[in-house]
Structure 1
């Protein structure tokens, strides 16, 4: 396992996705390029690119660069980028849909954005990338909760219900928010930390929270991503729900931290705890066992002719004492790259496959 320190401010990186075709990489003298997102920033300041000089050893010659972007009328109105995925020359970025660790849920975290790879390349030469932002104001929260209605989800404890659900409902009513009524008393707070596309364009959303009642991680498919950017009145539609049935347990529930695919319906994922211990997370106040799951890289495949359900996985790598594994991307040579939050810096680690 090779480690490279990346100097990015703020130092809260999440997720990885590959960008640029071989001709673009060659033009810049690179052989690999990944986008990561910085979740402490507003969306237009959250993009960074990690590039590797062509022909150099994988434990050397990496460079991290910020990608300045223009979010138009949505500038300053988003926060907490947590997941990214690329498709057809665009990078898509998803907000967590969640709230701070003590609640309530935050409408500024309820969004999806996209930026073209061509615009990213132009921004690296000067200027700013054009970032299209769709602000959900909890309509994606609503769609995911509706999709989970028939799934046996881990019961939300009394502290979480008060902090995330009841407090958000009260804020919407008190401040006459446009989104008032979209949060229902029986809802679960949604924390998205992973995203990846299926071949047909459906976007898999990996939930860190909630998980199933048996502690297994959940994927929900967002069916109409392109429509959301084409029609300002479009409402997100969520369909199939998938569960990794051999990951996590009642004693140590596990959620998604990252997703990647190298093609087809085969996916790589990082799974781990429901929230970090020692940071006064309300989720852990109700479910202290949610801090116990170790981080693992697993691989699984989704059937094409199924409407969701339980699937199995195999372990690719166990991270031992390393907990804050935030992203995974497998390159053209089969080497797995991970972005990891560590105290004071962001680390890129590469698992070299023999």
Structure 2
């Protein structure tokens, strides 16, 4: 297919820090509203129940015109206000899933309010749009359970060494808080752990949730993906703990000189994925990761594609580059629509930047 230039659309939400994209709604909902495309994005500066937004496109309009951004405020019940930093979203079987970063602020420590996963039904979102009210958002507060499961899964992977500052402010400081305040999660974060920053999520064909890590990466600078095996169980059983299995490495993406992490994921069906890769953290913002690893700011943003095999052991896979973004670095989400056009959400000051790469 032939690529054309990126179409630009600027949208406004409050807050305007949009992350990730995933497709939602079938023909019935789209037709009732006069739309031909609808994507969920999440606003990472809000609590989970305030983080949902829709980016919708008027049916038949050119792809660089007639987009709108709609807030969808949800009801989180007793978990209202107990979460922050939504970084990824994915849809499957009529539900939209949101994932917290599991990370911390740029100066640490790790934050339990960022350790969560949530879901809301697409039907409830549609009903709220058409009838008013707030859709119910189910939130599972993980208390570093996913951090633990990912670190255990990565035990045999040679990772970029955690620098002394990162160990101090992310790992040691978090352990100290847990012990001093006798937190329920005390003992879940271990001295040998790496902090985990999830910024991408998408479902495999078998229902496992593929998590893309912005950090850590391998010692050779390659991005890492970890499979969460029991997503549904986390919502069905209050005593369930996350279980992570296979680990995948994109072996021809990133390097020692310019390590690259995952920023977004989307599936074209089966186990074929589109992804955004880029730097390990934003430069100029006093990020601890970059203080220890300044080379982590060098990787450019790219749209890549890869396919995962059924190999139960995981392993290294290759990827192809679809688009290089040049000077545009803060690509936060990707969704490929029913016509094969790629849509990206970009973190820009003061607005939500949507870009569309049209294929003829």
The 5 A counterparts of 1:99-178 are: 99-125=104-130, 126-178=132-184
Q: Distance in 1 between matches of 2:222 and 2:244?
A: 19
Aligned to 1:267: 273
Unmatched segments (≥5 aa) in structure 2: 1-5
Give the Å deviation of 1:306. 3.8
Q: Distance in 1 between matches of 2:128 and 2:206?
A: 29
The answer as to whether partners of 1:53 and 1:62 remain within 8 angstroms in 2 is yes
Q: Distance in 1 between matches of 2:162 and 2:311?
A: 32
Give the Å deviation of 1:80. 0.1
| Residue among 243, 255, 277 paired with 1:249 | 255
- TM normalised by structure 2 equals 0.98
Q: Distance in 1 between matches of 2:195 and 2:150?
A: 10
| Residue among 7, 12, 29 paired with 1:2 | 7
Give the Å deviation of 1:305. 3.3
Q: Distance in 2 between matches of 1:70 and 1:82?
A: 19
Give the Å deviation of 1:137. 0.3
| Residue among 18, 23, 47 paired with 2:52 | 47
Deviation string 1:53-103 (CA, Å, 9 cap, x unpaired) is 101100001010000100011100000000000000000000000000000
Aligned to 1:75: 80
Secondary structure, counterpart of 2:166 in structure 1: helix
Aligned to 1:325: 331
Give the Å deviation of 1:122. 1.4
Q: Distance in 2 between matches of 1:30 and 1:200?
A: 30
Q: Distance in 2 between matches of 1:267 and 1:301?
A: 6
Number of residue pairs matched?
Answer: 354
Q: Distance in 1 between matches of 2:129 and 2:256?
A: 46
Secondary structure, counterpart of 1:199 in structure 2: coil
Q: Distance in 2 between matches of 1:63 and 1:111?
A: 29
Deviation string 1:153-185 (CA, Å, 9 cap, x unpaired) is 110000000000000000001111111000000
Aligned to 2:244: 238
| Residue among 197, 222, 228 paired with 2:228 | 222
Unmatched segments (≥5 aa) in structure 1: none
Give the Å deviation of 1:262. 1.7
4+ long deviations beyond 2 Å: none
Q: Distance in 1 between matches of 2:325 and 2:57?
A: 23
| Residue among 12, 25, 32 paired with 2:37 | 32
Q: Distance in 2 between matches of 1:112 and 1:306?
A: 25
Instruction: Please state if 1:190 is matched with 2:196.
Output: yes
Aligned to 1:286: 292
Secondary structure, counterpart of 1:70 in structure 2: coil
Q: Distance in 1 between matches of 2:311 and 2:249?
A: 16
Secondary structure, counterpart of 1:307 in structure 2: coil
Q: Distance in 2 between matches of 1:133 and 1:193?
A: 18
